[in-house]
Amino acid sequence: MELSFGEMLMIALAIVVLFGPDKLPEIARGLGQGVRKMRGAVDDIKTEIMKEADNPVSEIKKEIDKVKQSVQDYNPMNDIKKSVSLESEKPETPKVDPLSDEHEGPVSR
């Protein structure tokens, strides 16, 4: 809401007529204090909103950094090497061909 110079002059004239020229400095002081308090309240609200708005953003950034770190730490070659080393450590079991005529142990025919 913007006031033109003429509108401000009319408001000032109405204040002088209503309250008199003796009370004008008191009224101006009171208005100034009120404006300062309002600005301070608006600044406090702005800082609270910024703190609250920044907090979830920083948490999301931390989670993204954690995921990035875990992706960098993950190396699928380590899993493959482990599985290959475990397979090589297993004792080999003899393979028996069921179609061959060679049988060991008691078998009746």
DSSP 30-76: HHHHHHHHHHHHHHHHHHHHHHHHHHHHHHHHHHHHHHHHHHHH--H
Kindly report the length of the chain.
109
User: For 9-54, how does the pLDDT look when each residue is reduced to its tens digit (9 = 90+)?
Assistant: 998 889 889 988 888 888 889 989 999 999 999 999 998 888 877 6
98: pLDDT strictly greater than 90: no
For 72-84, write each residue's pLDDT tens digit: 777 777 777 777 7
Domain ranges in the chain? 15-83
Q: Does the structure show a pLDDT above 60 at 62?
A: yes
Give pTM, 2 decimals. Answer: 0.40
pLDDT greater than 60 at residue 109: no
